[in-house]
Chain A
Amino acid sequence: MKRFSIFLITLSLLFLGCSSPEGGKAPVTPATTPSKPTPTPAQTPAEQSTGSDLGIEDIQKDLEELEKMLSELEELENVTFEV
Chain B
Amino acid sequence: MGMRWVLLVVALALLATVPAIAASPDEKPGVGKAFGAGKGDEIREKMFQERKEMMTAWLQNCDRWMERLRARVEESNIGQESKLRIQERINNVENRINEIKARIESAKDYDELRNAMRESREIWLGISKEMRMIAYENYVSHIDNVLRKLDEIADRFESYGLDATQLRNAINEANSTLQSVKEKMAGGTVTPKDIAELNKKVMNAFNEAKRLAREYKPKPSDGILMANVNGNFTLTGNMTALIKGNGTFDYVEATAKSESKGAAERIEALVVRGNVNVNGNGTFKIVAHGNGTLILNDGSASYVFKQCVNQKFVNGTLSKGESISFGC
Contacts and interface: CB of A to CB of B under 8 A. Distances in A.
Interface string A57-82: 01110110111011011111101011
Interface stretch (A2-10, A11-19, A44-52): A44-52
A46 B220 CA distance: 7
B206 A50 contact: no
Query: Which range holds the interface residue count of chain B?
Result: 35 or more
Contacts of B69: 69
A62 B206 CA distance: 11
A79 B72 contact: no
B219 A46 contact: yes
A49 to B, nearest CB: 5
Contacts of A66: 139, 142-143, 199
Given A51-B213, A56-B210, A66-B143, A76 B219 contact: no
B19 to A, nearest CB: 43
Nearest to A75: B61
Contact of A62 (B51, B113, B146): B146
Contacts of A70: 135, 139, 195
Interface of B: 47-48, 51, 58, 61-62, 65, 68-69, 72, 110, 113-114, 117-118, 120-121, 124, 128, 131-132, 135, 138-139, 142-143, 145-146, 149-150, 153, 156, 192, 195, 199, 202-203, 206, 209-210, 213-214, 216-220, 306, 309-310, 313
7 contacts: A46-B219, A54-B213, A59-B149, A59-B206, A66-B143, A70-B195, A82-B117
Interface of A: 44, 46-51, 53-56, 58-60, 62-63, 65-67, 69-70, 72-77, 79, 81-83
